[in-house]
Amino acid sequence: MSPMPSVSYSITIRLEFAARSAAVSDITGRIEHHGATVTALDVSASGPERMRADITVLTAGHDHAVEVVDDLRSVDGVELGKVSDRTFLAHLGGKLTIESKVPIRHRDDLSMVYTPGVARVVKAIADNPEDARRLTIKRNTVAVVSDGSAILGLGDLGPLAAMPVMEGKAALFKRFADIDAFPICLDAHSVEDIVAHVKALAPVFAGINLEDISAPRCFEIEDRLRAELDIPVFHDDQHGTAIVVVAALRNALRVVEKEIGSVRIVLSGAGAAGTAILRLLRAAGARDVVVTDIDGIVHEDRENLTGRLPWIAEVTNPRGLTGTLQDAIRDADVFIGVSAGNILNAEDVATMADRAVVFAMANPTPEIDPAGASKHAEVVATGRSDFANQINNVLAFPGVFRGLLDAHATHVNDRMLLAAARALADVVTDEELNPAYIIPSVFKEGVTKAVAGAVEQAAREELGTVDTITGAVPAVYGEEITFTG
C-alpha cells in the first residue's frame, strides 16, 4: 500500500514568482502532479512584477517532500525561500510548559507560597502523608516513563529520542483529561535500574504511565512496580491498546450479530500489546482465541516456548491448531493484528467466516491493505487516522487515569480495564453504529468522561468508598485536610 499524503509530513514552502494570473495554478499543478496535496496558499507580499506566497503541502514522507521541492526549484522564474517542516515547528522548544497556579505578586504571596508559610504545610504532610494528595501536585500528576527502547515502531533509540513522544503523551493527558503529566525518560537499561528509578520518583506522582519499553522487560517492570508501589501503574502499550480493541470488538460484533463467547478469534502478535489484548479478551468472555507470532500458531507442543508464550499456549487454541497464520485464519470470525505490515492479503480474508471482522493495527503499514480486507470482511479497523475505525490508545488512557486519580486508587486491575472498555463501546449509540463507525473519534464529546466515570466507579467499589447499591460517593471523600499550627 503506497503511503498517502499526511499532515504529519506537511511542509510550508515560501516562493517568489511572477505576478501573473496563471502563475499560482501552474505551481499548484506541478505540486499535485507529484501526488502531493496543496492545503493552503497565503500571499505574504505583492508588487506590480513579483509576489511572494507561502504554500502548505501535504506529502507522503521525507523523500516525497524533497521530490516536490526539487521540482519547484527547476521552474523558470520561481525562487524558493525557506522550506519549513510543520511537524518539526510544532515541536520547536518542546510542547510543554510549567506555570504557577498561585499568583506571586508581593511579599504576602511569597510568604504563603514559600517560606515561612510553607513550613506549616510541610509539617501537615509529615504528620499525615495522605494530605500530600490534597496539598501538592501529587493529586493530579502522572509520570510518563520510558527508557526509549521501543519508540513507536522505530525500535531502541534511547531516552533522548523518546522525549518528543513522551511530551506528546503528556500534552494529550492535559488536553483530554486535564491531568498534569510529565515526561520521565530514563537513561536506565536493566529491569532493576528502571524499577529503582521509578520507585524513587513515585512520591511526586499519583500514577505511573509506562510507555515504549521493549518486551519482555516491560512485563517484569510493570509487575514489580505494581507490587512495590501504592499508586496505579499502567503500561499504555499493553492495556490502553487492549481497552480500545475490546471496546471496538464489542461494537463490531453487534454489527455482525455475533457473540464474543462463540466467535473464533485469531490474534497476530504475542508481544506486549498482544498479551494484554488476550488477557482482556478472556476477561470479556472470549473462549476460542488462537495466537500466532513469527513462528506460526502458538500451541503447547511447539518447541522453545519462552517468556509469556507458555501461558499463551495454555489458555488459547482449544481446537489444537498448528501451522501458519493462514491456517489459523481459515474459518475465523475475527482477526486482530498487532504484529507486522503486509502479512495477509485479500485472498486470506476470503477464507474467513461470513461477516468477518478484521482489525489490522500494525503502524504505519497494517497487516493487510484495508481496501483489500474490505472486499471480504464486513468490519475493518486499523490504527491509522486516514481510514475509518481508528483504534487509538488516546481513547482510553486519559479517561482511565482521570478515573483512577479521582478515586484515589492505589492500583489498577482487569476489572477496571474491562469497565473502561464497556464504557468506551457504549459511547457509540445504536443509531450511530455501523460497519464504518464502531469506535468514536478521539474528539467526540464525552469519551473521556464516560471512561473516567466507569473506572472511578470500579475503583471506588474496590476501595469501599462507594455504596454499591446506590452508587453514592461520600461528599467529603478526599476533601478534608489536617490543619496545624
- Output the CA torsion sign for 379, 248, 320, 328: positive
CA 67 to the chain's CA centroid? 32
* Residue 408 · residue 478 · CB < 8 Å: yes
What's the length of the chain? 485
**DSSP character for 131?**
G
Cell of 172: 494529550
* Residue 57 · residue 80 · CB < 8 Å: no
CA 290 to the chain's CA centroid? 25
- Distance from C-alpha of 308 to C-alpha of 217, rounded to nearest angstrom: 11
Q: Any residues with CB less than 8 A from the CB of 180 and at least 6 apart, and which? A: 137, 140, 141, 142, 173, 174
Instruction: Single out the catalytic residue among 9, 95, 101, 114.
Output: 114
- Distance from C-alpha of 327 to C-alpha of 348, rounded to nearest angstrom: 9
- Distance from C-alpha of 423 to C-alpha of 384, rounded to nearest angstrom: 22
Instruction: Single out the catalytic residue among 123, 169, 258, 375.
Output: 169
* Residue 423 · residue 450 · CB < 8 Å: yes
Q: Is 465 exposed, middle or buried (0-12, 13-18, 19+ CB in 10 A)?
A: middle
Q: Is 114 a catalytic residue?
A: yes
Name the residues annotated as catalytic: 114, 169
